Amino acid sequence: MTTPILPTSDRSVVQAVANEELRLRYQPIVRIADRAVVAVEALVRWEHPEHGLINPDRFLPAAHRDGHMPLLDRWVLYRACRDLASLGDAAPEHVNVNLSAPTLKTDFTELVGTALRRAGLSARRLRLEISEGADLDTLTQAGPRLRSLIERGVGVALDDMGAGATDLRYLSKVALHGIKIDKQFVAGMLDNPRDHAIVTLLTELAHRLGLHVTAEGVETAKQLAALAGVGVTYAQGFHLAGPLALAEL
């Protein structure tokens, strides 16, 4: 069942930001070998006055349509950097922040630099997740800016790997930190040999390129064992931990 997106007459993300109604949840990313939490992914929620806490699939489509994604991404980036810094010694090593395709078309190097500086966070603690679903033009255009951030120590991971039009040129040209295997393959790998083969191949390719591999959407112990069996080293999913409030970290 799909959740309906908010009615178009509804308030926009611009008002959500102005009224301080956006919230962040942080989902742990775990090293499979010892279950250590190595990073958390920032995931946005909207605490809507009428609809309660709502998930991004209900308001990101409208934000995309109305050109509000750069505003949302900026808010998330600033808040996530500040939140990680505020945890001090209790903090995980890294925070992953999703950057949408429209933001990748802007001058986001400046934005990232400002977010880090204001939070007093070192660049190596931040990892940007860029969705493989973004069109190749956008990814290509963002290449030089991503490279300059990578030179400063920021990590860049390709999100939802396998779900878009996988273009190996991208893997060969940008010094990515890692890939995140899309959850549809994790969901299918125990029953569908083709999904299993895709996970295995993506993992082998990534490791040959020196990239970290994270599997998304891990919901069962069996999936976790199968992932470890094909050499996946990091995992994220409800079986390990769901998205948590900052205080719960």
Residue among 27, 54, 159, 189 that touches Mg ion (CB under 5 A):
159
User: Shortest gap between Cβ of 217 and Mg ion (angstroms)?
Assistant: 8
Long-range contacts of 102-107 (CB under 8 A, 24+ apart): 102/64, 102/67, 102/69, 102/70, 103/69, 103/70, 103/73, 103/74, 104/130, 104/134, 104/138, 104/139, 104/141, 104/142, 104/145, 105/138, 105/141, 105/142, 106/70, 107/145
- If the CB atoms of residues 98 and 200 are measured against Mg ion, the closer one turns out to be 98
SS3 readout for 103-165 = HHCCCHHHHHHHHHHHHCCCHHHEEEEEECCCCHHHHHHHHHHHHHHHHHCCEEEEEEECCCC
Residues 2-31 interacting with ligand C2E (rule: CB under 6 A): 27
> CB of 63: closest distance to ligand C2E in angstroms?
9
Helices 69-86 and 108-119, packing angle to 10 deg = 30
Please choose, out of 4-12, 138-146, 204-212, 214-222, the segment that lies near ligand C2E by the rule CB under 6 A. Answer: 214-222
Should residue 44 be labelled a site residue for ligand C2E when binding is judged by CB under 6 A? yes
Using the contact rule CB under 5 A, the part of the chain among 14-22, 28-36, 144-152, 153-161 near Mg ion is 153-161
Nearer to ligand C2E by Cβ, of 83 and 129: the residue is 129
The residue at minimum Cβ distance from ligand C2E is 237
Residue 23 bridge partners (DSSP): 45
The answer to whether 215 contacts ligand C2E (rule: CB under 6 A) is no
Nearest Cα residue to 159 out of 248, 1, 43, 21: 43
Would you tell me how many other CB atoms lie within 10 Å of the CB of residue 103? 24
Q: Which residue is nearest to Mg ion (CB)?
A: 129
Q: Which of 35, 57, 66, 225 binds ligand C2E (CB under 6 A)?
A: 57
- Residue 84 sits in the site that holds ligand C2E (CB under 6 A): no
55 is in the binding site of which of ligand C2E, Mg ion, none (Cβ under 5 to 8 A by kind)? ligand C2E
Report residue 64 as tokens: 């995309």
The smaller minimum CB distance to ligand C2E, of residues 17 and 89, is found at 17
Three-state SS for 217-232 is CCCCHHHHHHHHHCCC
**Interaction between residue 129 and Mg ion (CB under 5 A):** yes
x/- map, 148-177, ligand C2E, by CB under 6 A: -----------xx-----------------
Q: Which of 30, 80, 98, 121 binds Mg ion (CB under 5 A)?
A: 98
List residues near Mg ion by CB under 5 A.
98, 129, 159-160, 216
